[in-house]
Chains A and B, each alone.
Chain A
Amino acid sequence: MGQPVPDSRSPFALTPEILCARYSARVYRFAAMVAANSHDAEDLAQTALERAIRALERFDPRRGDVEGWLWRIVANAAGDARRDARRRRLLVDLLVRRVDMLVHQAPPETADEMLLAAVRRLPSRQRAVIALRYGADLDLRTVGATLGVSVAGTSMLIRRALDRLRAELSQQEKQP
């Protein structure tokens, strides 16, 4: 996998092992929020880390920091995974009509599971900003740069997503 890459954030060179150790937890949190289920989240996190490791040789700290570079790769991997999932779903729908006959998913029980399910039902753009902001724990500027949106636009997207989540969760709490 070549020579270690200098990291502007620390005096230590960035190797695949350091990249994984430093970012895998946050990459997984992001993946868990944008993916349809935990199985897809694991696949996405692995794919995103794999792509980042493969691209490590091409990373140039003079063109930007690791965070911006890494999360663009992760967000692109998520976009590709979403398109693949849509194609698979279309194919399965075509063949068996009802996907839930094949894939039984247990209904959410805990507060965290209900919240995660609500995040996963958000429109893809809102889901991405929520996952980058609260899953990957990025600041507004980096979230916006990753998605190609201004800081003000990012802030508005997050506010709308949070409003939607609040409304959905309060509706669920009212139901018996």
Chain B
Amino acid sequence: MTDIEARLRDMDLRPPGDLQARALAAAASPLARPGRRLLPVMLAAILTALLAGYAALAFTSGPPAAAAGASGYGVGEGCWFVKDANGLHFHIGGWYHGLPALCTSERRDPAAGR
């Protein structure tokens, strides 16, 4: 045996006193399944994807302002979101092609009596 081999064998490497207790305690506890940790992340990802899909569909296939005629779409007539000169507003609305509708204009007719 060479000098370096003897030094490697004689190195003072003592384990911490509680190593055995820690290992036994860790083995006695239920195993955290990686799948369970991933579940909330996957749910959040699915939700985000659905929202992103909805937003994309709503913006591309929602009723355009030009199709609304002179009066535009009215609140309560199928618009959950109404975009006008003041920005984007949320209203309880209806459905358009099976999706919550996103309207790009709002009826300005005061006779609508909102």
Interface residues of A (CB under 8 A from B): 1, 16-17, 20-21, 24-25, 27-29, 32-33, 42, 45-47, 49-50, 53-54, 111-112, 115-116, 119, 130, 134-135, 137, 162, 165-166, 169
Contacts and interface: CB of A to CB of B under 8 A. Distances in A.
What's the dominant secondary structure at chain A's contact region? helix
A112 B23 contact: no
Contacts of B16: 28, 42
A166 B19 contact: no
Contacts of B13: 28-29, 32-33, 116, 135
A76 to B, nearest CB: 16
A165 B4 contact: yes
8 contacts: A16-B27, A24-B15, A45-B23, A49-B27, A54-B27, A116-B13, A135-B13, A165-B4
B27 A28 contact: no
Contacts of A111: 7
B9 A134 contact: yes
Contacts of B23: 20, 24, 45-46, 49-50, 53
B15 A45 contact: yes
Contacts of A32: 13
Given A134-B5, A162-B4, A28 B24 contact: no
The bracket for how many chain B residues form the interface is: 20 to 34
A28 B28 contact: no
A131 to B, nearest CB: 9
B85 interface: no
Given A28-B19, A46-B22, A169-B4, 14 more contacts: A16-B24, A20-B20, A25-B14, A28-B14, A33-B13, A45-B15, A46-B23, A47-B26, A49-B23, A53-B24, A115-B4, A116-B13, A119-B8, A135-B8
B66 interface: no
A115 B27 contact: no
A56 B31 CA distance: 15
B2 interface: yes
B2 A162 contact: yes
A115 B11 CA distance: 9
B19 A1 contact: no
Interface string B14-46: 111001101110111001000000000000000
Contact of A50 (B5, B8, B12, B26): B26
Contacts of A42: 15-16, 19
A42 B5 CA distance: 24
Contact of A137 (B4, B9, B15): B9
A122 B68 CA distance: 73
A53 B11 CA distance: 27
